[in-house]
Amino acid sequence: MNKRKNVSVNPQTSAAGAGREAADHHIAKNVETILGLEQAAKMNRTTSELIANAVARFCGSITFVWVNAAWFGLWIFINTVPGIKHVDPFPFTLLTLMVSLEAIFLSTFILTSQNLETKLSERRNHLDLQINLLTEQENTQMLAILDAIAKKVGADLSNVPQVKVLREDTQPETLAQHIADMEEKMVTASERSENPADGRPQNGK
């Protein structure tokens, strides 16, 4: 005779599992959104920008190092081995010219790629700033609502003076000016510490 086993499910465990699934879903959705934004930004690049990015990516690989090492070694070997005509004998003036031209073009491609990455990074920073400002505004509204609820139920918040300050809207211009003032004070203090004034009295005649 088969006996049925009663399996009891803990409601707290089930709720925790559902919460984790919901959190994983939101994380996956956010990752897909960010990847979609970055992919859209990359798709809007011109043909020259795509070429510069591809060249810069290849130059940053170990394959590029081995290709140049093989090319330089073969060139030097062909132009130093006896018995054959040397196109570029020592001190390899033609090779030096080609390497210089390669360095000029590669630096241009790399700088172009870095400029594109800088624009993408600035766009991310701007997006982060907008999200942070929106979050701050939402938190300010929630604090105002909680303060109203506390007054409604008669809770005493006089011993928490930070609530009044936190309920005020954050002014980015004021924060930026405060940061600039603090940086200027730090630079001034550093300069004074590096160049202390000579307080020794001068000998009078």
Q: What is the pLDDT of residue 1?
A: 47
Mean of per-residue pLDDT scores for the chain: 79
Q: Say how far apart CA 112 and CA 50 lie, in whole Å.
A: 10
Domain of residue 103 covers 34-189
Q: Is residue 109 part of a domain?
A: yes
Q: Quick check: 2 pLDDT over 60?
A: no
Q: What is the pLDDT of residue 205?
A: 43
Q: What is the pLDDT of residue 38?
A: 72
Q: What is the pLDDT of residue 163?
A: 63
Number of domains into which the chain is organized: 1
Please count the helices (runs of H) and the strands (runs of E) in the chain: 6, 0
Distance of CA 114 to the CA centre of its chain: 13
Q: Quick check: 139 pLDDT over 50?
A: yes
202 vs 157 pLDDT, higher one: 157
What confidence tens digit (pLDDT) does each residue in 188-198 have?
888 788 776 55
Cβ atoms 116, 53 nearer than 8 A: yes
